[in-house]
């Protein structure tokens, strides 16, 4: 895959995740059956806002990487932009897996739905399903980032110069003791 295509794919995958986050945020923040929030809902809201902020930052960095991949390629700018995407992705993945879709978190969400009654159970299920829909785009971003780094490494490898000296034979001068002898 060409470098520009790999970065375009990265942009596409980040935008897919961005599109999946919005409905979950709407469900959590605006579709609650009543305005009676608790610590779990506030925590979900905070994490989803941070997730949205990280994806916004990833989009900005990925656009910068895509622009730097155009002719003439600016490898330093591209490396910096891809590193920014990678750093934000690592934070996003950690937060998503440990704080949003961990067993404990999903268990608390289901418990909230059961305890609060009829209207809350569909809300909790919709929230869980929305979070689960975010998983595939997150893993797709990981793969797209890998492809970008692979393309960058291949480009750098093609431009590298490798000098290697080998010795095939020996060359030696005849010994001369400083006196020339004439043949008779």
Tens digit of pLDDT for each residue in 103-131? 999 999 999 999 988 889 999 999 999 99
Residues 6+ apart with CB under 8 A from 57: 84, 88
CATH code assigned at 42: 1.20.120
Does residue 175 form part of some domain?
Answer: no
In whole angstroms, what is the distance from residue 181 CA to residue 85 CA? 78
User: Could you list the residue range(s) of the whole structural domain that residue 37 is in?
Assistant: 3-159
Lowest mean pLDDT across 90-94, 96-100, 118-122, 132-136: 118-122
CB atoms near residue 147 (< 10 Å): 17
Q: Is 135 exposed, middle or buried (0-12, 13-18, 19+ CB in 10 A)?
A: middle
Does residue 177 form part of some domain?
Answer: no
Instruction: Output the CA torsion 109→113→116→118 (10° steps).
Output: 170
Specify the number of domains making up the chain: 1
Tens digit of pLDDT for each residue in 59-71? 999 999 999 988 8
Contact by Cβ (8 Å): 58, 28? no
Determine the pLDDT at residue 71: 85
Does residue 122 form part of some domain?
Answer: yes
Q: Indicate the length of the chain as a whole number.
A: 184
In whole angstroms, what is the distance from residue 117 CA to residue 164 CA? 75
Tens digit of pLDDT for each residue in 14-73? 999 999 999 999 999 888 888 777 889 999 999 999 999 999 999 999 999 999 988 888
**Whole-number percent of the chain with pLDDT over 70:** 84
Contact by Cβ (8 Å): 75, 155? yes
Does residue 179 form part of some domain?
Answer: no
């Amino acid at each position: 895959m060409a470098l520009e295509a790999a970065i375009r794919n990265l942009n596409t995958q980040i935008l897919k995740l961005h599109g999946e986050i919005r409905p979950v945020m709407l469900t959590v923040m605006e579709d609650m059956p009543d305005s009676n929030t608790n610590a779990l809902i506030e925590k979900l809201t905070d994490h989803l806002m941070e997730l949205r902020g990280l994806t916004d930052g990833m989009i900005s960095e990925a656009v910068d990487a895509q622009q730097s991949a155009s002719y003439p390629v600016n490898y330093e700018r591209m490396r910096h932009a891809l590193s920014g995407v990678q750093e934000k992705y690592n934070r996003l993945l950690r937060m998503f897996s440990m704080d949003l879709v961990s067993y404990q978190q999903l268990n608390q969400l289901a418990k909230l739905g059961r305890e609060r009654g009829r209207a809350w159970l569909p809300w909790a299920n919709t929230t869980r399903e929305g979070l689960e829909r975010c998983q595939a785009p997150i893993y797709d971003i990981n793969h797209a980032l890998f492809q970008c780094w692979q393309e960058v490494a291949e480009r750098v490898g093609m431009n590298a110069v490798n000098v290697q000296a080998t010795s095939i034979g020996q060359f030696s001068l005849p010994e001369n003791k400083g006196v020339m002898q004439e043949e008779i």
